[in-house]
Structure 1
Amino acid sequence: MSEVDLQSFAETGRTAQLKAKFEITEVNLALKECGFGFFHVRLIFTALVGLIAGVFMGSSTSYILSEAECDLDMNLLEKGILNAMPYLGMLTSCIIAGFLTDAFGRKTFVVLGFGGTFIFTFISGLSQTYIVLTISKFCEGVFFAASYSSMLALTSEFCHDGVRDQIMIVASSFIPIGQVVLALMSWGILLQDWNVSLFGGMFVLHSWNYYFLALSLWACLACILYALLPESPMYHISQHNYDEAREVLIKVYTENTRKSVETFKYKDLWKDKIAVSEKQEPMTFQKQLSSAFHNIRPMFQKPLVWYLVLFCILNFISMKIYTVLRTWFPQLSTIVEHYSNETSDLCVMIDSYTRDLKVSVPETNGQNCIEARSGTETYINSVILGSICFIPPIVSSFLVKKVGKRNLYIVCGFLTMALTLAVRWSNSKISMVALFSTDVAISTLMASLTQTMVLEYFPTTTRSLAMAVVMTLGRTGSVSGNILFPILLDMGCAVPFFTLAAIVGVTTLLAFLISPKKE
């Protein structure tokens, strides 16, 4: 490509960026005219169902570890691998789906993602072996990751910039709601002694099978609800489908205001642009590829590449400790519930359990296995943990503007390190639940702050890719943490807690390297 062609291409790129910025402003003005009404209530409820289905996908296995350890012949390492499978699945599709979403639309990926999540959660409910369940959970993660970023984009792009931040904060509170709902459903189903034997005992449905079948209905409902929503007007604009974008805005307006189309101020928006856009020469694949690389190139240059590496490390560690504590809490709570009569020291209880687990490993189809099933206390504790996780969104909305994201992250890091160490010396059920719940809540806030800083430090042209890379590394932390935790636990109870505290200390010190963002 000659120098003249490069200059012409750069000028075309700048013109396209200005045009896109103006069109986004027009969409914002039209959405403000649409107001907030029944359509947005439907949108928020759909996001609620979708995010709850996502929580079920990532956390449901933690509740069946004690229930199905004999049915599936699981040891500690196999439990850790099972917990890690959804996150491993998400790693395989996260970045690819992030790129393809812009080409094929948000709605397409959301519907396909939740449809696939429903199918494989249903298969999990029918699984009879550890291998089948593990593969099904992996596939759940693959499909949900394809829908997650599209779901957030679809939700935010139907909200104008005046209410978008508040709507997304409300959406972030749906995750702890999902944790509470999951604990309640686990409590209601897993305590039942449901065992149905079919085909002469070749196919057996246990309580945990019915548990997964019930959870799959949420992904099915999310798929249906998103299929009933229109495509994002922002996506239609990016594809120069002005007629479709205008029709979507008219639909939002009429559903929110219950007024006729004639009263909509922007009912003729972009009609004059359709004829012009049809005459424009479309960009070739080579130019589109060159434009894409030109846009992301600054992300791999100073200073953005330094921030990318730093935020990847922070999110890797934050999500590692958050996921490990959250997914292993039901199992540890069950251990405390069964061994608390012998001692009040948490590590003595855990070491006794790991010793008994080695002795009672099933030799023939689980006949010698004695499972330590979760009782009412474990589910009550999980409800408490999920309820306490409501606090981070509230805290962050009040404190971030006063102390700054970096400073708040550093404070949370020191608190998390202290709480993780304190868990090892908890000597009562109350202290164990209080320390675990607070630790999970604060580590959740750390992960949220990291992701918010990515949005702040990276420009629009590289923001989506930067977030995809940071989230991929974060989920790698979730996978490695779930696999390493049982290995460390098998070495001795204190080992994983000291290890987690040490790596949180490292990430807290690294946070000091983040320079304050200039407004």
Structure 2
Amino acid sequence: MKKKKLLQCHNGLDKSVKTTMQEYDAALKACGIGLFHVRLLCTSFVAMVSGIVITNTSPYVLPVAECDLDMNLLQKGLLNAMPYTGMILVSIIAGFLTDTFGRKPFILFGFGGLFIFTIISGLSQTYIVLVIAKFFEGLLFAISFTPVVSLTSEFCHNGIRDRILFLQSSFASISQIIVSLVSWAVLPNDWKSVYFNGALVINTWNYYLFIMSLWSGMACFLYTFLPESPKYYITQKRYEDAREILIKIYKQNTRKPVETYPYANIWKDKITLKTDESAENKANTSFSHMLSVGLYNVKPIFHKPLGLYVLLFCTTNFFIMNMFNVIRLWFPQLSTIVEHYAKEESQDLCVMLDAYTQDLRVKNLNSTQDKICVPNVSGTETYINTVVLGIVCCVPYIIGGVLVNKVGKKNLFIVCGTVCASTTFGLRWVNSKIAMVALFSTTVALAQMLMSLNQFLVVDHFPTTTR
């Protein structure tokens, strides 16, 4: 029996000895919830809005700018897809680099660059310039989004992490409402300014993109005042930096002196002498060393069981994202079509789409150089529908926040996936405006919930160094 106990201690199975991450979680719990977490969530809210702006502004711009940019349906689809093309190309590399070099540098670089390219989108005079700018917007957001989620989760202890992440995920729904309301306030106006003898024409949709660029600028500014993730510092063996940040969080949340913090001297045994520490850090912070450490941390992904988890989560995320974005990004355009083509008699959605595409073919066949292009501009009904969609998307997060710990993330994922597939299938036979909005809203809300649950499961199954 004694031999068995000694063997357990030797293998690290002694439950009385806390690991570094368990100590970190306990230290975070002692910090409580307060001003720091309010700042963190408010900043992540602005960041989430700036991310939604990248993908959601294009659908609102499509009906208004189709004549200014001479867009057909294929070009509209390509414009919607460009941000995601940028995200796909850089997301894996961005995730690897953030774990290797830290969260905060990539957040600042991503949102700063995003602000610049959103301004370029607003200045665009041709379709090509707008498409290229949208591509780089997606690329830069992919660089910044991964560390935003990691930073929020790593500042929360295990007891509240799922609820905080649910709350952060709900920001996407609130962001959709904000984007809808701003679009409703700006896009119906007839604004036009001409500069440099017609070389630069700023239309309503250009001003709209300028206004939306403020979100990424604010996100970059606000994140400059937040610290780096202590969890990242721990993985880099920089215990002193992690300890100092925990002390700052404790002081901000509790308004008490450092002496009252039970973990004020945490990891003191791990911090070496000043001279040895500086020499070691100099060697350990070189680019080649950090790169090799990052590659070493990625290695477990290609072995069991993480390799199978990667395949599973990537496959589920692909199908969820595909369904979510197709439905969400085309909703404003489809709502505009229904608004203009819905007849008094009952018609399903496919009949209205056929009527719209038939009109486009007729216009293209009968078009002349002298004919003036008149776009089918979104009316009040479309903007109200998108606001309703955003409000409905908040409901699953309220229910999920209550059920996630009782039912479990896996069971909640299965139920949401089943209902979401059913509502998507039912869109084919929608024959009224109310039913269209109801099914679209339910599908988008549940798909958004599925993406969040998929992300939470990734956090549960993958350690910090490989996440």
Distance in 2 separating the partners of 1:197 and 1:286 = 52
Residue 328 (structure 2) aligns with: 326
Is it true that 1:388 corresponds to 2:392 in the alignment? yes
| Residue 70 to residue 364, structure 1, CA distance change in 2 (3 Å) | farther
Distance in 2 separating the partners of 1:292 and 1:135 = 31
| Residue 354 to residue 201, structure 1, CA distance change in 2 (3 Å) | same
Q: Which runs of structure 2 are paired with 1:29-48 in the superposition (5 Å)?
A: 29-48=26-45
Q: Which runs of structure 2 are paired with 1:80-479 in the superposition (5 Å)?
A: 80-276=77-273, 279=276, 296-341=298-343, 343-345=345-347, 346-361=349-364, 367-400=371-404, 405-456=409-460, 458-460=461-463, 463-464=466-467
| Residue 266 to residue 366, structure 1, CA distance change in 2 (3 Å) | farther
Distance in 2 separating the partners of 1:389 and 1:106 = 28
Letter in 2 for 1:197: V
Aligned partners of 1:71 and 1:366 also within 8 Å: no
Shift of 1:33: 2.6
Shift of 1:276: 5.0
Aligned partners of 2:83 and 2:136 also within 8 Å: yes
Over residues 409-436 of structure 1, what are the superposed CA-to-partner deviations in whole Å (9 max), with x where a residue is unaligned? 4444443333223222222111111111
Distance in 2 separating the partners of 1:121 and 1:341 = 38
| Residue 453 to residue 165, structure 1, CA distance change in 2 (3 Å) | closer
Aligned partners of 1:158 and 1:232 also within 8 Å: yes
| Residue 294 to residue 251, structure 1, CA distance change in 2 (3 Å) | closer
| Residue 289 to residue 65, structure 1, CA distance change in 2 (3 Å) | closer
Aligned partners of 1:343 and 1:349 also within 8 Å: no
Residue 516 (structure 1) aligns with: none
Q: Secondary structure at the match of 2:243?
A: helix
Shift of 1:278: 5.8
| Residue 136 to residue 287, structure 1, CA distance change in 2 (3 Å) | closer
Aligned partners of 1:299 and 1:462 also within 8 Å: no
| Residue 168 to residue 415, structure 1, CA distance change in 2 (3 Å) | closer
Shift of 1:62: 0.8
Residue 4 (structure 2) aligns with: none
Over residues 246-293 of structure 1, what are the superposed CA-to-partner deviations in whole Å (9 max), with x where a residue is unaligned? 322222222222233343333343445332586486679999777766
| Residue 356 to residue 150, structure 1, CA distance change in 2 (3 Å) | same
Distance in 2 separating the partners of 1:187 and 1:368 = 25
Return 423-432 or 77-86, whichever deviates more.
Answer: 423-432
Aligned partners of 1:197 and 1:203 also within 8 Å: yes
Q: Secondary structure at the match of 1:64?
A: helix
Is it true that 1:71 corresponds to 2:68 in the alignment? yes
Shift of 1:196: 1.1
Q: Secondary structure at the match of 1:205?
A: strand
Aligned residues: 447
Q: Percent identity?
A: 53
Q: Secondary structure at the match of 2:201?
A: strand
Distance in 1 separating the partners of 2:404 and 2:27 = 31
| Residue 461 to residue 191, structure 1, CA distance change in 2 (3 Å) | closer
Distance in 1 separating the partners of 2:77 and 2:398 = 32
Aligned partners of 2:320 and 2:451 also within 8 Å: yes
| Residue 213 to residue 163, structure 1, CA distance change in 2 (3 Å) | same
| Residue 363 to residue 196, structure 1, CA distance change in 2 (3 Å) | farther
Aligned residues: CA RMSD: 2.9
| Residue 50 to residue 288, structure 1, CA distance change in 2 (3 Å) | closer
Q: Secondary structure at the match of 2:396?
A: helix
Aligned partners of 1:107 and 1:230 also within 8 Å: yes
Over residues 136-181 of structure 1, what are the superposed CA-to-partner deviations in whole Å (9 max), with x where a residue is unaligned? 1111111111111111111122222222222111111111010111
Distance in 2 separating the partners of 1:461 and 1:264 = 26
Shift of 1:93: 1.6
Distance in 1 separating the partners of 2:393 and 2:408 = 21
Distance in 2 separating the partners of 1:258 and 1:366 = 71
Aligned partners of 1:240 and 1:277 also within 8 Å: no
Shift of 1:390: 1.1
Aligned partners of 1:360 and 1:370 also within 8 Å: no
Aligned partners of 2:233 and 2:242 also within 8 Å: yes
Distance in 2 separating the partners of 1:210 and 1:418 = 39
Letter in 2 for 1:48: F
TM-score, with normalisation over the residues of structure 1? 0.79
Return 251-260 or 103-112, whichever deviates more.
Answer: 251-260
Letter in 1 for 2:59: S
Over residues 331-356 of structure 1, what are the superposed CA-to-partner deviations in whole Å (9 max), with x where a residue is unaligned? 00000111124654122221111111
Residue 61 (structure 1) aligns with: 58
Return 418-427 or 202-211, whichever deviates more.
Answer: 418-427
Structure 1, gaps ≥5 residues long: 1-13, 465-519
